[in-house]
Amino acid sequence: MADMASLVNGAGRKHSSLPRVQACERIRLNSQQLYDSVIDRDGFRPNVGIILCNDAGQVFWGRRAGHDSWQFPQGGIQRNEHPREAMYRELYEEVGLGRDDVEIIGWTRGWLRYRLPRAMVRRQMRPVCIGQKQKWFLLRLKAGEDAFDLNCAPKPEFDDWQWVEYWSVLAEVVYFKRTVYRSALNQLAPLLFEGEAATMPEKYRPRRQRKG
């Protein structure tokens, strides 16, 4: 894991999509073939999540294209693909960044799982996917913000993005992903911050862990 200087928080700034000068290579995948090949015996699809930070300790927060919801970049791991390679592929497909644009700070231990709400489970698909099991990577942006391009996939994941405070995403992420986000942020915070800044603020903890 790479060493990283202590970071300080700053005010979040919002951006629209910032295309690269050069055209992105278009990615074309057989989604049904990938779906069939990666669901495990328990019904979970292997997946990578990406927490991308800047030098102020803020994190990339993307608005899902066509939706009024925000999340970190994430995506499925293909058959015979190492999680790190999946992370780089998803990073490029979703935000247009390459290997040289980022530095890996660390990653989570084991798999972090979440279940999909029943209404989102596609029972007609075989095998049935009931949720995701994820490995999360913490990255630091080395390139300038003009390196971002949200249009590198035929169907873009995001249509807008902004820098936000590290812990604040827990108040905005969709409810069924919140436990996984909390676990990933908790594991990775000591690699990014020192002292109290590495501790989850009480207001973002599960109710049973709050004081009073």
pLDDT per residue as tens digits for the range 154-207? 999 999 999 999 999 999 999 999 999 999 999 999 999 999 999 999 999 988
pLDDT one-digit tens code per residue, 92-125:
999 999 999 999 999 999 999 999 998 889 887 8
C-alpha span between 26 and 155 (Å, rounded): 10
Ramachandran region of residue 7, left (φ > 0), alpha (ψ -120 to 50) or beta?
A: beta
Query: Quick check: 110 and 133 in contact, CB under 8 A?
Result: no
Over 80: is that where the pLDDT of 14 sits?
Answer: no
> In the structure encoding, which two tokens stand for residue 194, read together?
């020192």
CA distances (Å), 9 to each of 58, 152, 163, 166, 203, in order?
A: 6, 30, 11, 8, 18
Closest among 115, 43, 46 to 74, alpha carbons compared: 46
> Which has the higher per-residue pLDDT, 126 or 145?
145
What is the per-residue pLDDT for 177?
97
Over 80: is that where the pLDDT of 46 sits?
Answer: yes
Residue 127: asked if its preceding bond is cis (omega within 30°), the reply is yes
Query: Quick check: 72 and 94 in contact, CB under 8 A?
Result: no
Domains and CATH numbers, the chain: 18-209 (3.90.79.10)
C-alpha span between 34 and 15 (Å, rounded): 32
What is the per-residue pLDDT for 3?
40
pLDDT band, very low/low/confident/very high, at 23 (cuts 50, 70, 90)? very low
